[in-house]
């Protein structure tokens, strides 16, 4: 039982370390061939949005709005992939190593 608790504590520490790393890691998504880029942390916090001046057309605001949404979605996709690659092995280890359902 002691060994099982030790394993759980180690996995908890690894999980916390991975979460902290995700908070510090930034990823970028783009749209419109780089006209709009969105940067967010691996934990999903949007930290920057860059719009190339050539993408700004006062007569076509909808296209710019679509580009912003697409860039943010792309950044979120990259962040989700990063999270899955960092957290997946840890969560999988919890589920198989400790027999805890749902983890």
- What is the domain-level CATH number for residue 80? 3.30.1310.10
- Number of Cβ atoms within 10 Å of the Cβ of 100: 11
Task: Return the SS3 of 80.
Answer: helix
Q: Is residue 93 part of a domain?
A: yes
Q: In this predicted model, what pLDDT tens digit does every residue of 36-48 receive, in sequence order?
A: 999 999 888 999 9
pLDDT at residue 95, rounded to an integer: 47
**Enclosing domain of residue 83:** 2-98
Q: What is the pTM of this model?
A: 0.73
Q: Are 65 and 57 in contact (CB under 8 A)?
A: no
| 103 belongs to a structural domain | no
pLDDT tens, position by position, 9-45: 888 888 888 888 888 899 999 999 999 999 999 888 9
Residue tagged 């394993």 (tokens): 7
Helices and strands in the chain, H and E counts: 2, 3
Distance CA 93, CA 20 (A): 19
Output 93 or 67, whichever has higher pLDDT: 67
Residue 30 falls inside a structural domain = yes
């Amino acid at each position: 039982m002691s060994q099982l608790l030790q394993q759980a504590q180690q996995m908890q520490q690894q999980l916390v370390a991975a979460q902290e790393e995700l908070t510090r890691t930034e990823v970028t998504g783009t749209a419109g061939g780089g006209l709009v880029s969105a940067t967010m942390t691996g934990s999903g916090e949007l930290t920057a949005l860059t719009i190339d001046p050539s993408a700004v057309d006062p007569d076509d605001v909808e296209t710019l709005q679509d580009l912003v949404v697409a860039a943010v979605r792309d950044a979120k996709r990259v962040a989700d992939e990063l999270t899955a690659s960092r957290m997946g092995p840890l969560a999988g280890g919890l589920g198989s190593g400790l027999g805890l359902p749902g983890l």
